[in-house]
Chain A
Amino acid sequence: KNQVEQSPQSLIILEGKNCTLQCNYTVSPFSNLRWYKQDTGRGPVSLTIMTFSENTKSNGRYTATLDADTKQSSLHITASQLSDSASYICVVSTYGGSQGNLIFGKGTKLSVKP
């Protein structure tokens, strides 16, 4: 069964600190992996997208890594800001299958405190 598991479920950090969010997946066939940021009451916004051959991708203070062998990804946030408070969702794309080709994790809820 195609699944995406994220950890931790929630995380509280102080402003200015770094943090790393984890994503493990069992999706086949694998097309790509994305990280989305979802503010409360808003739709998800794409942060990064990585294909099988890419093992790191940066977007400002966000850096995503992908290990296709172990089927793990991480999202590292550097020098956190209050505006980083949101849910971060790991999404793995498959193709030729059902569910519109996207398998969503449940997200990690990040709270950045002053």
Chain B
Amino acid sequence: DTGVSQNPRHKITKRGQNVTFRCDPISEHNRLYWYRQTLGQGPEFLTYFQNEAQLEKSRLLSDRFSAERPKGSFSTLEIQRTEQGDSAMYLCASSLVAGERTRRADTQYFGPGTRLTVL
């Protein structure tokens, strides 16, 4: 399967614990996006990378959240001191664009998501 993969698919944790999710994009894609989706809502943008550089972060990304893409391939999203309000589906998407800040919108391919439940 050459699509976007995410691990784990499901994560249940207790409030206050740290969790880390992984996203493996389509291999030749240089952009990687993280979104959060709660029940009955559309995805909300969190952050995105162009290669290893984190180019934008949403105000939704509090200081408890950190994302990395150290080698420009896979990415991790860590949530520290989880809260019940962090319970959501975390989606990753990847795309291939030319140029660092292209003005043309790119086609994003989504992974299956990681569903986080904070008890």
Chain A residues packing against B (C-beta within 8 Å) = 4, 31-32, 36, 41-46, 49, 89, 91, 93-96, 98-102, 104-107, 109
Contact of B44 among A46, A98, A104 (CB under 8 A): A104
Which range holds the interface residue count of chain B? 20 to 34
- Majority-rule SS of B interface residues: loop
A95 and B42 contact, Cβ closer than 8 Å, known pairs A43-B112, A45-B110, A100-B56: no
Contact indicator B42/A89 (Cβ below 8 Å): yes
In the bound assembly, the distance between CA atoms of A107 and B105 in angstroms comes to 21
Chain B residues contacting A105 (CB-CB under 8 Å) are: 42
- B69 contacts the other chain (CB 8 A): no
In the bound assembly, the distance between CA atoms of A100 and B112 in angstroms comes to 19
Q: Which partner residue on chain A sits nearest B59 by CB separation?
A: A98
Contact of B105 among A41, A42, A94, A106 (CB under 8 A): A94
Contact indicator A102/B112 (Cβ below 8 Å): no
Q: Please, could you name 8 A-B residue pairs with CB atoms under 8 Å apart, sorted by A?
A: A31-B105, A32-B105, A42-B112, A42-B113, A44-B43, A102-B105, A104-B42, A107-B42
Given contacts A42-B112, A43-B111, A95-B103, 16 further A-B contacts (CB under 8 A): A41-B89, A44-B91, A49-B107, A91-B42, A93-B105, A94-B105, A96-B103, A98-B56, A98-B58, A99-B58, A100-B48, A102-B45, A102-B108, A104-B43, A104-B44, A106-B40
In the bound assembly, the distance between CA atoms of A41 and B44 in angstroms comes to 16
- B22 contacts the other chain (CB 8 A): no
In the bound assembly, the distance between CA atoms of A29 and B45 in angstroms comes to 18
Chain B residues packing against A (C-beta within 8 Å) = 4, 33, 40-45, 48, 56, 58, 89, 91, 93, 102-113, 115
Contact indicator A100/B33 (Cβ below 8 Å): yes
Contact indicator B105/A43 (Cβ below 8 Å): no
Contact of A41 among B33, B58, B110, B113 (CB under 8 A): B113
B5 to chain A, nearest CB (A): 10
Chain B residues contacting A104 (CB-CB under 8 Å) are: 42-44
